[in-house]
Structure 1
Amino acid sequence: MTSANNPSKTERTPAAKSAEAPGCCGGCSPAIRLRATAAPQAAPQADDGHAHDGAAGDGHDHGPLPSLPRIVAALLVALAAELSHLLLPDTRAWHIAGMALAAVAIGLSGLGIYASGLRALMRGKLGIDTLMAVAVTGAFLIGQWPEAAMVMSLYALAELIEHKAADRARNAIAGLMALAPDEAEVQAPDGSWQRQRARTVPVGAVVRVRPGERVPLDGTVTEGRSAIDQASVTGESIPVDKGPGDAVFAATVNQGGELQLRVTAAAGQTTLDRIIEAVEQAQATRAPTQRFVERFAAIYTPTVFVLALLVALLPPLLLDWAWLEAIYKALVLLVIACPCALVISTPVTVVSGLTAAARRGVLIKGGTHLENARKLRAVALDKTGTLTEGKPRLVHWQPWQGAQRNAVARVAASLAGRSDHPVSLAIAQGLADEAGDTVTDFRALVGRGSEGRMNGQAWALGNHRLAEERGLCSPALEAALAEHEQQGRTVTLLMDEHGVRALFAVADTVKPHARRAVAELIAAGVTPVMLSGDNPATAQAVARQAGIADARGGLLPQDKLQAIRALQQHHGATGMTGDGINDAPALAQADIGFAMGAAGTDIAMEAADVVIMNDDLGRIAETVRLSRRTHALLWQNITLALGIKAVFFVLAVLGQATMWMAVFADMGASLLVVANGLRLLRMRG
């Protein structure tokens, strides 16, 4: 995915992109039409004989649907035509009046639909417009003009309702696009502040964000402190404190004080833009069930069309049916035949699932991954940055050999503050309130630590090797070191010329919610396994804290790849969770790769199938649960669509279903599966 191709928010236009399949009747197309991601023009629609809302690309649009008042008027006129047929005298004049009423109702319902159907029929395309045009024409020819009027009126009403319902899923992109503000307050060279279009603000510019405003572009805080609501990007429900040096993302909300930030990504290349692009690309792909349904529909529609033709021709020839009766039943079958409910059932459900995930800061790159996540039986978890915070912290320290606590803390803090080694930095941060002594003759000891003088006394802050070289070890010290090492901690010793005076244990701490997230995976029937490049003792210690029974340490990238293969053989479908860089081979081998904490990083977005924008491990179990619910709804919708079709098909053959009843059944089924699929948008956890 290249964010460079993604236009800025102010330049985006929701161009229609059909998600229909060959063989779709067309009634499903309002559900999923997406903005073209690589070009400003609309993508071509499937040539189904039924385009909507003037979407360009197929050359046979019937234009926008009629308004609700116009459709209501059409229904009233159609009802008048029906009543005139039933109640008024059977004379030529009243027949002409009734036919005129029916024609008016059809005109109010939308002649564009009728004309589009005829054009599609001339090209041999069997979409729902085609079926409507054939049914209406046939009904008029056999004297069932009230039926023709009611069919078109009900169809137009159902199309409008279905269109509005399906908009909820397809407008997810528009909702994301609307989050980032169009303007930014930018610092001019003379120090003044000027408002300008966000899309014109260059990288490196300084912008100001006042309390309550949305951040216009990605950047790094240079001045000020505040709490930022990042729910729109990372899905985090709790605002995150930000200060100088912290990253902020476009479309997040500044809740506290005023912030100044230096822009790090231009419009069109922000984290929000990459989220939008990822969601669009995901929605443009097909889930396995969706591909199956589309292949089925491509065969189903022409098959039933041929069957309806046989119903119109064979019974009068072989069973002495009346021709008008046979033709009428065939027309009813044509209306019932449209598989719009079946075909719409899959894309609207998949898009709803992808949108529900995106709202929670989880980007699933396609319906295939959304549907296949339910099959996961094991998930491999990297240690550093995934289960742990990814940076060392001072977790324990104690004076040694009777040293005075405050004195050794001050010395250690002063020495550690002079070094840039990660362990020393962790000690300095942990003892930040103690530093103050001046260090002279400071010198780094490569591979061992550092040393210097304070108040005329020599001190050293170093590892076990340095203590051994200076002859300062003892059995008691060795035992204390072994105890900390079993817990996965790195121990640094403070020494003077006569002995060790303090022990400082540093460790990469487990994330606060890691244990709960692991428990959720286990509850979902997924086995968690830790794969780490750290030493086995450290890996085991972290695994115990996180509640993981299977932990493997000392692994190189190729070792992790082999471990994934072994897990796949033992458990079945296996996921891999990592940072998307060092774990790339394992992520590629896994059935589904998860990238953690990827907000603002292109590499992690590229590497994985599922991108979790914050560091919440619990999102992995949520993805599995969402996948299972999506799959269940997919098959619920397929069963509903086919079941309703089967019932009315039998009724039509038995002569118990009228044409307008067939329209009710077909469009009712479409609305039902749309509403069922949209339930995913309300999923909570």
Structure 2
Amino acid sequence: MADRHDHSTPHQHAHEGCATDQPRKVATTRHYRGVTSSHVHHDGAHCCGGHDAAPAAAVSAPEGQWVRFRIAAMDCPTEEALIRQHLSAMAGVLQLEFNLIQRVLSVRHSLRDVAQLQLAVAELGMQAEPLNDLIHTRFHIAQMDCPTEETLIRQRLGRLASVQGMHFNLVQRVLTVAHQDDQQAHIISAIAELGFTAIVQTEQSAVPAAEQPKPWWPLAVSGVAALSAELAHWFAIGGEWLPAMFAVVAVVGAGLDTYRKGWIAIKHRNLNINALMSIAVTGALLIGQWPEAAMVMFLFAVAERIEAKSLDRARQAIRGLLALTPTQALVQRPDGEWHRQPAEQIQAGQIVRVAPGERIALDGIVTSGQSTVDQAPITGESLPVEKQAGDMVFGGTINQAGSFDFRVTAAASNSMLARIIEAVEAAQGARAPTQRFVDQFARVYTPVVFAIALLVAVLPPLWLGGGWFDWVYRALVLLVIACPCALVISTPVTIVSGLAAAARHGILIKGGQHLETGRHLSWLALDKTGTLTRGRPAQTDVVAWAKGDLAAYRQIAASLASRSDHPVSQAIARQAQADRITPLPVESFEALPGRGVKASLDGQRYHLGNHHLVETLGICSAALEAKLDELEQQGKTVVLLCGTTGVLALFAVADTVKETSREAIAQLHALGVKTMMLTGDNPHTAAVIGRQVGIDDVRGNQLPIDKQQAIQALRAQGQQVGMVGDGINDAPALAEAQIGFAMGAAGTDTAIETADVALMDDDLRKIPRFIRLSQQTAVVLKQNIALALGIKTVFLALTLLGQGSMWMAVFADMGASLLVVFNGLRLLRQ
């Protein structure tokens, strides 16, 4: 009864995996556009009746395994880019990590035979020799919070033969190292040589305890001493010795840590901000600029403290999510008694009770009781959601008026909230295009400015007859502004702020590159069922075709429909139940292949089926044909109740449009994004739904391969295309699009791993919000780059003209850093 020309019974649908049953699936995992994604592809033809198949129960995505190869010919980015492009296109390749110094490639994959990887490398004219498996260890390094420390660590660990890859998360101060077994101690020792403390992270210590704040009194003493040095110099008190004494006190009070870090950097041949500042202040002291040296070191220390506090706000945006889950929950013992137990000790299958007003500790399924739950922390929904037996609840959400019990479905470390936090933290490491540009620029900027400073100090006195004192001083000022910290730190802070803001609204973005490029979308393709519509057919019309009691006809139809598991029949049965219509006893129930069902009630024979059934019974008429055409042109599926005398009543069923779909499509059009519906449903229904919500291009009878080809056609025209689906059935199209959006990710285990952007509920309006956030992020990134480079350029010119001073340079350097950090944090308010 899927449509007029469907030639199978409800029972056939159920057994063949069509419409009413979950389709047979084969789990596959692939890597596309640098993002690990798990898909479940259909095995078999498209479902009968043209309906979009509902996703089956969640299928766990394979984690993959690591394998290492030594590639002797791989020693520069040219070979890396060639290998990355070639292997990333292989199905089953999940992640690639390169170490050009050691000429080692690490691959995370789900292939049955790693020889496929060796053959793929051989196609490029290179030979890949397998090495031992790698271990990936996460280290928390409290002192690592800016590119200065990252560069030092990268250089030091890069010289260790056992280290084959590094992944830095500066915002969370976490370093992930791919290394050989039994090498953790060597790595920790190497990091300790740089003056840093590396702590191995486990699942239990994933978020380290808050660090003890540094005491402020040495900084206060330094400030007083620096001001005293300025005053003594200004009023010529105590000759040279008094300003010098105050300056030394100021430098010691504020700069010992800077000197220590600077010495370590110089030993490792790295010109970071600490090395440059140490050289500049020392030079100022040597040429007798006592007050300036004191004030520069004090201002630098103050600015670093403020910057560290500012970056903590970005860290807390992610860590604050962890505070959403309570540490304990009320658990039922095997003897039936209830007791409080730490949340991390509760296992799947245990029963937990939630009191009114209490925050839910773990994910689970309600077993008894009912209430309303505020799911905003997970899905971003503004209104509470009704929960009753059989409904899912998520850890971190807030129970409201009622009380209920639920069976735990996932341990605390594997809850939906934990996976969200993990995904957001992992996304911070996926470098956005702007960040890659900034990093490349920064590698050139510091050496160039340092070389300019040396030339400024030497050439004018030698060739132009300038004074050594004046030009050396200008060179020292240039050293202060030679570090690109403001430029480099601006991008990750902005991206993290955008990712955290999106997560707060129930939008999980799988990497900074998607957040930055989302604003370029020109087309958005959408699935129909479950995306634009509710995905659950509902009865829309009841028409009494023969004279008689319509209520009696509805009761008879409900009696037959309740015995079928076809979605159309179930829609009629659900509506009857909602209207408190009690089914009658049914006898001699029989399925009629391709037509419907028949049964006896109180000795009378009745049929419930489609148009083909009516034709078979020989009771069709021109008037009936016209009515059927009228309803089907409205996108409705019609079921007819027939008695011994002819057609008694018509029941129309349709999948209803979500209230939010029209508004979402209108917002997309306002943003300049065109829309396309790709659905497996019949063209009539697709066209009706398309008109209702305002879709630009509607295409029905689309198989998964057809959807993928539609995306390919748009991309071939140079369009930036997004695809919205359930994250499972639409896997080929999701993978083909520049950005794949998974709807209702909170309801499935695999959706977060499937698409580039996971919408935690079914509200399509989150996509326009994502695009607007992407636009705002791009604006802030451009502002930050302009601020960082603009301020540096202005002070560079002032210095060369002799108008710059060292304390002004500190304001230029650290002031720019603070400006870009605060500007990036504005996104947290979105």
The question of 1:482 aligning with 2:632 is answered: no
Provide structure 2 residue ranges, at least 5 long, that are not aligned to the other structure: 1-35, 37-59, 64-137, 153-167, 179-183, 201-210
> Equivalences for 1:26-45 in 2 at 5 Å?
32-35=171-174
Q: 1:112 to 1:582 in 2, by over 3 A?
A: same
State how far apart, in whole Å, the 2-side matches of 1:152 and 1:104 are. Answer: 11
State how far apart, in whole Å, the 1-side matches of 2:191 and 2:564 are. Answer: 69
> 1:554: how far off?
0.7
Aligned with residue 468 of structure 1, among 572, 591, 615: 615
The question of 1:401 aligning with 2:546 is answered: yes
State how far apart, in whole Å, the 2-side matches of 1:172 and 1:4 are. Answer: 30
Indicate the residue corresponding to 2:721 in structure 1.
574
Q: 1:210 to 1:101 in 2, by over 3 A?
A: same
Which amino acid is the alignment partner of residue 32 of structure 1? V
Indicate the residue corresponding to 2:656 in structure 1.
509
Q: 1:538 to 1:420 in 2, by over 3 A?
A: same
Indicate the residue corresponding to 1:652 in structure 2.
799
Deviations 1:212-237 (A, max 9, x none): 11111110001111111111111111
Indicate the residue corresponding to 2:269 in structure 1.
124
> 1:418: how far off?
2.4
Deviations 1:75-116 (A, max 9, x none): 12110011112213463xxx3332222222122214122111
Q: Which moved more, 1:501-510 or 1:319-328?
A: 319-328
Q: 1:658 to 1:15 in 2, by over 3 A?
A: closer
> 1:68: how far off?
3.8
Aligned with residue 376 of structure 1, among 521, 538, 552: 521
State how far apart, in whole Å, the 1-side matches of 2:575 and 2:672 are. Answer: 39
Deviations 1:300-340 (A, max 9, x none): 00110111111111111112222222111111110012211
The question of 1:142 aligning with 2:253 is answered: no
Q: Which moved more, 1:598-607 or 1:227-236?
A: 598-607
Aligned with residue 671 of structure 1, among 798, 802, 818: 818
> 1:403: how far off?
2.7
Q: 1:16 to 1:272 in 2, by over 3 A?
A: farther
Alignment identity in percent? Answer: 55
Contact 2:146–2:170 under 8 Å retained in 1? no
Indicate the residue corresponding to 2:438 in structure 1.
293
Contact 1:19–1:284 under 8 Å retained in 2? no
State how far apart, in whole Å, the 2-side matches of 1:395 and 1:334 are. Answer: 75
State how far apart, in whole Å, the 2-side matches of 1:443 and 1:211 are. Answer: 49
Contact 1:25–1:48 under 8 Å retained in 2? no
Aligned with residue 221 of structure 2, among 57, 65, 73: 73
Indicate the residue corresponding to 1:524 in structure 2.
671
Deviations 1:162-190 (A, max 9, x none): 11112111222211122111212111111
Q: What secondary structure, in the 3-state scheme, does the structure 2 residue paired with 1:389 have?
A: coil
Aligned with residue 492 of structure 1, among 635, 639, 655: 639
Q: 1:38 to 1:644 in 2, by over 3 A?
A: closer
Which amino acid is the alignment partner of residue 493 of structure 1? L
Question: Which TM-score applies when normalising by structure 1?
Answer: 0.92
Aligned with residue 426 of structure 1, among 548, 571, 580: 571
State how far apart, in whole Å, the 1-side matches of 2:198 and 2:784 are. Answer: 27
Indicate the residue corresponding to 2:327 in structure 1.
182
The question of 1:277 aligning with 2:422 is answered: yes
Contact 2:139–2:198 under 8 Å retained in 1? no
> 1:427: how far off?
0.5
Deviations 1:585-631 (A, max 9, x none): 11111111111111142322222111111111111111111111111
Q: What secondary structure, in the 3-state scheme, does the structure 2 residue paired with 1:300 have?
A: helix
Indicate the residue corresponding to 1:410 in structure 2.
555
Which amino acid is the alignment partner of residue 621 of structure 2? S
Indicate the residue corresponding to 1:263 in structure 2.
408
Provide structure 1 residue ranges, at least 5 long, that are not aligned to the other structure: 6-11, 58-62
Which amino acid is the alignment partner of residue 231 of structure 2? L
- Aligned-pair Cα RMSD in Å: 2.8
Contact 2:523–2:673 under 8 Å retained in 1? yes
> Equivalences for 1:17-56 in 2 at 5 Å?
21=147, 32-35=171-174
Q: 1:639 to 1:289 in 2, by over 3 A?
A: same
Indicate the residue corresponding to 2:506 in structure 1.
361
Deviations 1:228-266 (A, max 9, x none): 111111111111111000011111110121110011111
State how far apart, in whole Å, the 2-side matches of 1:578 and 1:43 are. Answer: 47
Q: What secondary structure, in the 3-state scheme, does the structure 2 residue paired with 1:593 have?
A: strand
Task: State the aligned residue count.
Answer: 666
Aligned with residue 338 of structure 1, among 470, 473, 483: 483
Q: What secondary structure, in the 3-state scheme, does the structure 2 residue paired with 1:509 have?
A: coil
Indicate the residue corresponding to 2:461 in structure 1.
316
Which amino acid is the alignment partner of residue 664 of structure 2? A
> 1:23: how far off?
10
> 1:347: how far off?
1.1
Q: What secondary structure, in the 3-state scheme, does the structure 2 residue paired with 1:232 have?
A: helix
Contact 1:24–1:298 under 8 Å retained in 2? no
Deviations 1:355-406 (A, max 9, x none): 1111111111111111111111001001111111111111221211223111
> Equivalences for 1:562-601 in 2 at 5 Å?
562-570=709-717, 572-601=719-748
Deviations 1:516-558 (A, max 9, x none): 1001111100000000111111111111111113100111111
Q: 1:89 to 1:194 in 2, by over 3 A?
A: closer
Which amino acid is the alignment partner of residue 575 of structure 2? G
State how far apart, in whole Å, the 2-side matches of 1:42 and 1:555 are. Answer: 56
Indicate the residue corresponding to 2:584 in structure 1.
437
Aligned with residue 554 of structure 1, among 691, 701, 724: 701
